[in-house]
Amino acid sequence: MHPGAHVLHYASSCFEGFKAYRGPDGQVNVFRMDRHIERLRQSARALALPVPGTEQLDQMIRALIDRTRRSVPDAPGALYLRPLLFGTMAAIGGAATPPTEALLIVIASPVWDYFEGGAKPLRIFVDDQHQRTAPHLGEVKAGANYAAAIGQTVIARQQHGADQVLFCPQGQVQETGAANFVLLRDRHLLTRSLDSTFLHGVTRDSLLTIARDEGYRVEERNFDVAEMLAWVSTGEAALAGTAAVLAGVGTLIHGEEEHRVGDGAVGPITQNLRSQLVDIQQGRVEDRFGWLTPV
């Protein structure tokens, strides 16, 4: 690659992350492939990158799975898939010029159970000073967005033993560096309403769909740190993302004060919703929402 490639100077890069699962019958299914393909195309448009075609991405993903089919683990493992798009046009002086050339690749890697050895409640540092990314690009799965969160996460890990940072600019709860955030209690789910400032997670959408189907009261709205801390005194908190699906939070650290979430363990509502989604992904129950694509 040319050292003047656009991506190396102006961060013209976006990606996706999702999984293929081997079902009990041996069939390999990709979870919500269509949604991830469309989100990559949306990210490309937002970053002014050449937009790959839906059919092109579909064919690339299927071809890669076909070549690596024997590497798809049995449950609870999966084949992690990552389409990656980045600008390759050599343009050192192109800060205001979108790349006209880009490289699209798809990589795959077998992954295992995120909670092998048991679920561990997370320690989350609440940062009410910083924003994870530029407000108009928060919904883009851009590499630069993740880079922007690394520094604050390292500081929180060193100073507070935190696993992740929950960004709450101006005191408004948003998301962590790599996952969406939800509050749970008594068949009630609360999460930030969708806007351009944070990633529109596919796992988040899937969990909200299941919760509604199960009769939960699902609220999508803005809420602040004070409401969140009051909620977790008796309720649950969790992070939603591709890797862990739904990971329980045991402690929220705000300033120098630690707030225990419920009894400090991964809560039963979190475990139940996670199990329901994982059962669909791994083909153990009916795919009643049409989320699995056989390949």
Residues with catalytic roles: 141
Alpha-carbon distance of 232 to 221, in angstroms, equals 17
Q: How far is CA 131 from the centre of its chain?
A: 17
Do you find a cis peptide bond into 50, omega within 30 degrees of 0?
Answer: no
Task: List all residues 6 or more positions away from 277 whose beta carbon is below 8 Å from its beta carbon.
Answer: 203, 206, 207, 210, 245, 246
Residue at token pair 């081997």: 22
DSSP 159-185: HH--SEEEE-GGGB--EESSSEEEEEE
Element (H, E) at 124: strand 122-127
Q: Is 29 helix (H, G, I), strand (E, B) or coil?
A: strand
Of 207, 197, 208, 214, nearest in space to 277 by CA: 207
